[in-house]
Chains A and B, each alone.
Chain A
């Protein structure tokens, strides 16, 4: 029996339907419409079954006339002729005979069948049924570079979704009425709305939707810790895996860029007020974009010779291609934002001078000063801070030495101290530049590793070793001041400390030695003193960071706002962007008041 009144089978939902056996697509695109082509067995005869969407329902074409309420013997894949009907897919209780089910085509590899017998779990498709089917679609993995290949190049590891995978993943979203995911997003992207647009195949519209709230979607889709933000709140995540919001964001941003759909909005309501932004990192760029869109003229000051802050000097090429950062910055340039390179604010211009010339100043200089542990031998050659290592590699392109003049810090056996994303970046950069043995030393256990799970997973795949519950106590050098080995001590975890994590304490006499010829210390950063040296009025908190209002981002100096790592200490790209957004809101409120 072929019940054709299946309103739920909308045109867009079956775009990606494959045979579970031969992986051939059932979809055919004819001149004016898309069709789903299957083979049916009816009364022992094979016939082509063409389903084409007509408004909300499907039209069925077949060479043999099939009456309504007649039972099909079987539905076959048009390519491999295998039966697409299996009993396991039915609820299994009603004992529905073959032919009483119809493909619902929501999934890529497992087409879903709906039992038409009344009372069966799969009878018809109500809202809740739709939900059930969605729950059956697995979270889609991104295709990525093979691990044996990728440790020899600096290209990005995941290739990103194809449009088919993206549509499928977007199909998993339940479109909650009161979406929790948005609560998890520091910049309040309307996540269900952009996913809805994706399901309507309007990827461009989806990208524009994200850009309403986030100026750097291609960056955030790659480096945001979604698993602890939006995806952590996803309802699907309670029972199953959450919707891969980050990967979808990345896909639409890449789609927009690659298809050349980026449009520069026309800015109305230009004002003659001027904004200074110190630091061109993610926070600074957010402020610059927000204020530029509101009609202010914005000048961004950057200390280094390249824009992007941590996106350029910190995050390696294989995690965030620099061409993408450059593209996003060019977008800002076209919005009319001015960029001044090589300007160390605090030295060449002080904050007070900026206040004289600008109507508001945003300080987003990041937390620059590397922290050392203060153990013996830290000043040996070949002991690097993670900042130095990554700056050499990313900003100065030392991995292309001697083509680029900055020498590459290399080592055959490398030890990395710390367990954050930066440590993973260092380790994975080291393995790409020819180190044979890379070991990460972290003083807490695997559970406490602050790095993103995905990063840890990638690092392990690439053959990086983890020595957990271990802390270095001494760096042992040769007579020529180069590193020979690291002496470590085993740790154990005791009761939680003020940060809520279990505190590690050393186990007595458990010292051991790891041989290495290079060590990278990635245990965090402190506040950079330059901006404070010429602005003594700028109030600092007990950790030495800028004391700024959490909601309005105002500092102790009027007209001066601050956000990002220089306020919170080392955190994430998206938190800095959230702070930038908040500061821009306050700036606009206060400047439009006058």
Chain B
């Protein structure tokens, strides 16, 4: 029994935050790990990275964007409702230790995951620089939370309605040119954003980690649906990831695999409306 303790809608209702009561998971989950949810008997299993936790209250936080049938259904849930299954923590935790200066780049809903990792880096005693981006001011999430854990925070929007105008890669480039002490870059967001960040950091030869979100079923290494090419090896995101060396990941393939069920998603939504 996993109860929704608190629900918050963000970014005009396209992004939703759930605080779920799951004491056993909250006690164990580390930054970068994810859980798999199934909301009802006929539901599918979807992976969602844990955005925060409170081990004393036994609560995990997940933040998701409404994209398909399951997330739409989840948005309709209210505080006090029950989620049927929550499995976790899954995946390897992010490798966090004291390095010096770390640069965190996040876009869209990716900021939710980035926040958890940035918080862990900050607690480990690093100097954290954050760059977060969104389409416009309305869609920007977790700005205050990021502000609390970052020593420096840059905000960009695509249309310039808030912060700098443009993509996250522009301030990133500036930082990479100006600062020589950046030890690692963490990029989490849309695939196209992660891809461009990796192209940029490769030029400067700075290690870059990305957090991937491929299609998954069981999340325990069984199905192999979440396989990604990392370098010349096929890796399973659920047990070998979800964080990988961004310079080695084949993003084009990942994007194509993620689009595999777009048609079915529509069908499924239409079915539920009917």
State the A residues within 8 Å of B (CB).
303-305, 313, 341-344, 347-349, 368-370, 372, 374, 378-379, 381-382, 384-385, 387-388, 391-392, 395-397, 401-408, 480-482, 528-530, 533
Knowing A387-B222, A396-B45 are in contact, say whether A342-B234 is a contact too (CB < 8 A).
no
Q: In whole angstroms, how far apart are the Cα atoms of A342 and B69 in the complex?
A: 23
Most interface-central of A344, A374, A403 (chain B CB within 10 A): A344
> With a CB–CB cut-off of 8 A, which chain B residues contact A374?
234
A402 near B223: Cβ-Cβ < 8 Å: no
A303 near B44: Cβ-Cβ < 8 Å: no
For this complex, 11 residue pairs linking A to B, each with C-beta atoms less than 8 Å apart, are A348-B25, A369-B221, A379-B234, A379-B253, A381-B257, A402-B267, A402-B272, A481-B253, A481-B256, A530-B221, A533-B92
Q: Does B271 contact A (CB under 8 A)?
A: yes
Q: Does B144 contact A (CB under 8 A)?
A: no
Known: A374-B234, A402-B268, A481-B256. 15 other contacts (CB 8 A): A313-B218, A344-B87, A347-B88, A347-B90, A349-B24, A368-B220, A381-B259, A382-B260, A388-B224, A401-B264, A401-B268, A402-B270, A405-B70, A529-B239, A530-B239
Q: In whole angstroms, how far apart are the Cα atoms of A255 and B253 in the complex?
A: 53
Nearest neighbor of B266 in chain A, beta-carbon distance: A402
> With a CB–CB cut-off of 8 A, which chain A residues contact B223?
370, 385, 387-388, 391-392
Nearest neighbor of B267 in chain A, beta-carbon distance: A402
B28 near A347: Cβ-Cβ < 8 Å: yes
A528 near B267: Cβ-Cβ < 8 Å: no
Knowing A405-B42, A405-B69, A405-B70 are in contact, say whether A529-B268 is a contact too (CB < 8 A).
no
Nearest neighbor of A390 in chain B, beta-carbon distance: B223
A407 near B264: Cβ-Cβ < 8 Å: yes
A305 near B88: Cβ-Cβ < 8 Å: no
A372 near B220: Cβ-Cβ < 8 Å: no
Nearest neighbor of A341 in chain B, beta-carbon distance: B85
> With a CB–CB cut-off of 8 A, which chain B residues contact A341?
85
A342 near B218: Cβ-Cβ < 8 Å: no
Choice from A305, A378, A387, A397 contacting B85 with Cβ under 8 Å? A305
Main SS class of interface, A? loop
A348 near B222: Cβ-Cβ < 8 Å: no
Nearest neighbor of B271 in chain A, beta-carbon distance: A402
Q: In whole angstroms, how far apart are the Cα atoms of A582 and B45 in the complex?
A: 35
Most interface-central of A349, A388, A404, A480 (chain B CB within 10 A): A388
Q: In whole angstroms, how far apart are the Cα atoms of A395 and B225 in the complex?
A: 15
Q: How many A-B residue pairs have CB under 8 A?
A: 130
Q: In whole angstroms, how far apart are the Cα atoms of A436 and B59 in the complex?
A: 49
Most interface-central of A305, A313, A408, A481 (chain B CB within 10 A): A305
Q: In whole angstroms, how far apart are the Cα atoms of A384 and B90 in the complex?
A: 22
Mask, B224-259, CB within 8 Å of A = 1, is: 110111000010100110000000000001001101
A381 near B256: Cβ-Cβ < 8 Å: yes
Q: Does B265 contact A (CB under 8 A)?
A: yes
> With a CB–CB cut-off of 8 A, which chain B residues contact A392?
217, 223
B220 near A344: Cβ-Cβ < 8 Å: yes
A305 near B87: Cβ-Cβ < 8 Å: yes
State the B residues within 8 Å of A (CB).
24-25, 28, 33, 38, 42-45, 69-70, 84-90, 92, 217-218, 220-225, 227-229, 234, 236, 239-240, 253, 256-257, 259-261, 264-265, 267-268, 270-272
Nearest neighbor of A346 in chain B, beta-carbon distance: B220
Q: How far is the CB of A534 from chain B (nearest CB, A)?
A: 10
A391 near B222: Cβ-Cβ < 8 Å: yes
B256 near A370: Cβ-Cβ < 8 Å: no
A342 near B268: Cβ-Cβ < 8 Å: no
Q: In whole angstroms, how far apart are the Cα atoms of A404 and B43 in the complex?
A: 6
Knowing A305-B85, A372-B234 are in contact, say whether A391-B220 is a contact too (CB < 8 A).
no
Q: In whole angstroms, how far apart are the Cα atoms of A384 and B222 in the complex?
A: 12
A303 near B85: Cβ-Cβ < 8 Å: no
Nearest neighbor of A404 in chain B, beta-carbon distance: B42
Knowing A344-B87, A405-B69, A528-B239 are in contact, say whether A368-B264 is a contact too (CB < 8 A).
no
> With a CB–CB cut-off of 8 A, which chain A residues contact B25?
348
A481 near B225: Cβ-Cβ < 8 Å: no
> With a CB–CB cut-off of 8 A, which chain A residues contact B44?
396, 404-406
> With a CB–CB cut-off of 8 A, which chain B residues contact A388?
217, 223-225
Choice from B221, B227, B265 contacting A368 with Cβ under 8 Å? B221
The 5 A-B pairs with the shortest beta carbon distances in the complex, nearest first, are A407-B264, A481-B256, A402-B271, A388-B223, A385-B224
Q: In whole angstroms, how far apart are the Cα atoms of A387 and B226 in the complex?
A: 12
Q: How far is the CB of A304 from chain B (nearest CB, A)?
A: 6
Knowing A344-B87, A406-B217, A481-B256 are in contact, say whether A370-B224 is a contact too (CB < 8 A).
yes
B257 near A528: Cβ-Cβ < 8 Å: no
Nearest neighbor of A403 in chain B, beta-carbon distance: B42
Q: In whole angstroms, how far apart are the Cα atoms of A388 and B267 in the complex?
A: 21
> With a CB–CB cut-off of 8 A, which chain A residues contact B270?
402
Q: How far is the CB of A301 from chain B (nearest CB, A)?
A: 11
Q: How far is the CB of B57 from chain A (nearest CB, A)?
A: 18
Q: In whole angstroms, how far apart are the Cα atoms of A369 and B238 in the complex?
A: 11
A379 near B229: Cβ-Cβ < 8 Å: yes
Nearest neighbor of A314 in chain B, beta-carbon distance: B222
Q: In whole angstroms, how far apart are the Cα atoms of A100 and B268 in the complex?
A: 75
Q: How far is the CB of B136 from chain A (nearest CB, A)?
A: 31
Q: How far is the CB of B42 from chain A (nearest CB, A)?
A: 5
Q: How far is the CB of A155 from chain B (nearest CB, A)?
A: 20
Q: How far is the CB of B32 from chain A (nearest CB, A)?
A: 13
Q: How far is the CB of B217 from chain A (nearest CB, A)?
A: 5
> With a CB–CB cut-off of 8 A, which chain B residues contact A303?
87, 218, 220
Choice from B217, B224, B253 contacting A372 with Cβ under 8 Å? B224
Q: In whole angstroms, how far apart are the Cα atoms of A27 and B224 in the complex?
A: 58
> With a CB–CB cut-off of 8 A, which chain B residues contact A408?
264
Knowing A304-B218, A305-B38, A405-B44 are in contact, say whether A387-B260 is a contact too (CB < 8 A).
no
A405 near B268: Cβ-Cβ < 8 Å: yes
B42 near A344: Cβ-Cβ < 8 Å: no
Nearest neighbor of B223 in chain A, beta-carbon distance: A388
> With a CB–CB cut-off of 8 A, which chain A residues contact B221?
368-369, 528-530
Nearest neighbor of A303 in chain B, beta-carbon distance: B220
> With a CB–CB cut-off of 8 A, which chain B residues contact A530?
220-221, 239
Nearest neighbor of A367 in chain B, beta-carbon distance: B222
> With a CB–CB cut-off of 8 A, which chain A residues contact B38?
305
> With a CB–CB cut-off of 8 A, which chain B residues contact A391?
217-218, 222-223
Q: In whole angstroms, how far apart are the Cα atoms of A395 and B45 in the complex?
A: 11
Nearest neighbor of B264 in chain A, beta-carbon distance: A407
Q: How far is the CB of A345 from chain B (nearest CB, A)?
A: 10
> With a CB–CB cut-off of 8 A, which chain A residues contact B220?
303-304, 344, 368, 528, 530
Nearest neighbor of B89 in chain A, beta-carbon distance: A347
Knowing A382-B260, A392-B217, A396-B44 are in contact, say whether A369-B236 is a contact too (CB < 8 A).
yes
> With a CB–CB cut-off of 8 A, which chain B residues contact A305?
38, 45, 84-85, 87
> With a CB–CB cut-off of 8 A, which chain B residues contact A529?
221, 239-240
Q: In whole angstroms, how far apart are the Cα atoms of A344 and B257 in the complex?
A: 26
Nearest neighbor of B25 in chain A, beta-carbon distance: A348
> With a CB–CB cut-off of 8 A, which chain B residues contact A533?
92
> With a CB–CB cut-off of 8 A, which chain A residues contact B85?
305, 341-342
Q: How far is the CB of A489 from chain B (nearest CB, A)?
A: 21
Q: How far is the CB of A574 from chain B (nearest CB, A)?
A: 21
Nearest neighbor of A398 in chain B, beta-carbon distance: B44
Nearest neighbor of A526 in chain B, beta-carbon distance: B221
> With a CB–CB cut-off of 8 A, which chain A residues contact B265?
407
Q: How far is the CB of A531 from chain B (nearest CB, A)?
A: 10
A368 near B69: Cβ-Cβ < 8 Å: no
